Chains A and B, each alone.
Chain A
C-alpha cells in the first residue's frame, strides 16, 4: 500500500528526510514516531500529495508520486485519506455535512451518502452531534469528526497526523481501537504520534521511527516543525 525508497526531502538547505525506505502492506498498521523535526508531518504530506516528491520514489495506494500531475491529485486523495493535526473541517457546516464531504465531491448518490455517513458517525460516536455546526464542538469532538470524514469513503490508505493530540487517554485508546478495526478491514494506516504510551498500547503494530537528519547536512533547530507546516 505504501512503497518508499530512498526518499529525501529538504526545506531550502535544511534536509528533513534522508534516504528513507520502508513499505506498508494492505491492511497494515504502523506508527510513525520520532522527535519534533524528524519529518513525520513532511512524510505524510508527501504521501498525500501536498508536498512534491523531491528525490527518491514513493507509491501510495497504487499511485506513483514521481511526477504526479496536479490534475491527477484528486485521484490520489480519493484513495489516500488524511487526518490533519489541525482537523481542517468546515466550522460553519454541520458534523454530518463535514463527514459527507469526501462522498459529495465524488458524486456519490444521496442515499449512499446518508448510509455511509450514518455508519461513520456511529463508529465515532457522533450520531447525537450530527446536526450541530462544527464550530460549536470541543477539540476532541472536532478531531473525531475529522477521523469520521477520513474513513467515510473507505480509503485504501489512511494517514493520520497526531490524531490523538486533542483527546484524553480513554478517547485516544478508543480511537486507536477504531483505527485498528478499519485496518482489519483492509485499510492501511500510517499514524504519526508522539505518544509513546499509545504506541505501547498496540504492541503488534509496526513502528517506523524517523530521526532528525544528521547535522552535516544543515543545522537542526526547533524551527523545523514550523517549516514542515509552512504552506
Chain B
C-alpha cells in the first residue's frame, strides 16, 4: 500500500507536467544561486586559509653544525604536532639558490672554500584554536634544540590565522543560515502553494473515504521528488561550473588552486531542499484539511 501511494505521488507529477516543471525550475534556481554563494564562500575561505592561515617558523642552525645530527633534529621537528609543511635547506642548497639569484655578482661575496650559510628549516604549523600559548611554546621548544642559533617567526601570522577562524564563525555560519532560510522559504512555499491548488481534489478524496495518510503520503513523495530533481540538477550544474572555474583559476596568470568543495556541501545542497520539499508536501496535506 505504501509503495503504491508513493508511486501514485510520482505519477501525479506527470499528470500535471507544466506545474511539476515550474516547481522543479523554482527549486533549481534557488538551490543554484544559494549553492553558488556557498561554493564561493568555501573557495574563498579555503584560499585564504591556504595562504594566510599557517604559522611559519624559520629555524637557523649555528654555522658548522654537524650534518648528521642536524638531519635527525630536522626529522624530529617535522614530526612535531601541527606541522603541515616543512622545507629544509642545507648550506650547499642555500648557496646554490643564492648563486642562482645573484649570478656572477655574488662571486666576490661568496667565497668558494668556506660556506658561511647555516642549515635552515622552514616549518609551517596549523595553529590550534583557543591556544594563545602555542606560538610562544613552539618558539621555546625550537630554540631549545641543541645547535639551533636562532628561530624567527612573524607574531602577526597567528593573529591572521585567528582572524580567519573568526571569519568562519562570523561570516560563514550566518551566511549558511541565511542560505538555508532562503532555500526553506522559497522551495517550501513554492511546493506548498503549488500543492494547495489541489485542495479540491483532496477534499473529494476525503469524501470517498481516503484516510489522511492516503492523501499525505503521495504528496510528500511527489514533493520530495520535485525537490530532489531540482536540487540534483542544480548541484550537477554547480559541479560543472566549479570544475570550469577551478580550471581557469589554476592557469596563468592567477595560478590559484582551489580545494574541492567538501562532500557534505554537495550532500546538503541536495538533501536539504529534498527534505524541505517533503515537509512542504506534508504541510500542504495538513493545511488542506477541512
Contact = CB atoms under 8 A, between A and B. Distances in A.
A and B co-occur in one complex: yes
Interface string A61-96: 000000000110111011001101000111010000
Nearest to A102: B208
Interface string A138-174: 0000000000010001000000000000000000000
B201 A90 contact: yes
B1 A101 contact: no
Contacts of B141: none
A48 B204 CA distance: 13
A203 interface: no
Nearest to B1: A107
Contacts of A88: 203-204, 207
B62 interface: no
A105 B214 contact: yes
A90 B200 CA distance: 9
Nearest to A92: B15
A105 B1 contact: no
A159 B63 CA distance: 107
Contact of A101 (B15, B204, B289): B204
A215 interface: no
Interface in B247-290: 289-290
Interface in B195-251: 201, 203-212, 214
B212 A78 contact: no
Interface string B21-51: 0000000000000000000000000000000
Nearest to A74: B211
A81 B204 CA distance: 12
Most buried by A among B1, B8, B205, B289: B205
A74 B210 contact: yes
Contacts of B205: 101, 105
B206 A73 contact: yes
Given A90-B201, A231-B290, A82 B4 contact: no
Contact of A105 (B203, B208, B290): B208
B201 A105 contact: no
Interface in B170-210: 201, 203-210
B209 A82 contact: no
Contacts of B1: 107
Given A89-B204, A231-B290, A102 B209 contact: yes
A73 B209 CA distance: 8
B211 to A, nearest CB: 4
Given A105-B214, A107-B1, A107-B4, A74 B290 contact: no
Interface in A82-133: 82, 84, 88-90, 92, 101-102, 104-107
B206 A101 contact: no
Contact of B206 (A74, A89, A106): A74
Contacts of B4: 107
A149 B208 contact: yes
A106 B8 CA distance: 13
A77 B212 contact: no
Contact of B209 (A90, A106, A231): A106
Contacts of B206: 73-74, 77
A124 B55 CA distance: 85
B201 A74 contact: no
A50 B209 CA distance: 12
Interface of B: 1, 4, 8, 15, 201, 203-212, 214, 289-290
Interface of A: 48, 50, 70-71, 73-75, 77-78, 81-82, 84, 88-90, 92, 101-102, 104-107, 149, 153, 231
List the 3 closest pairs (A to B, CB-CB), nearest first: A105-B210, A78-B209, A77-B209
Given A101-B205, A106-B209, A149-B208, 5 more contacts: A50-B207, A75-B209, A77-B207, A153-B209, A231-B290
30 contacts: A50-B207, A70-B289, A71-B212, A73-B206, A74-B206, A74-B209, A74-B210, A74-B211, A74-B212, A75-B209, A77-B207, A77-B208, A77-B209, A84-B207, A88-B203, A88-B204, A90-B204, A92-B15, A101-B208, A102-B209, A105-B205, A105-B208, A105-B210, A105-B214, A106-B209, A107-B1, A107-B4, A107-B214, A149-B208, A231-B290
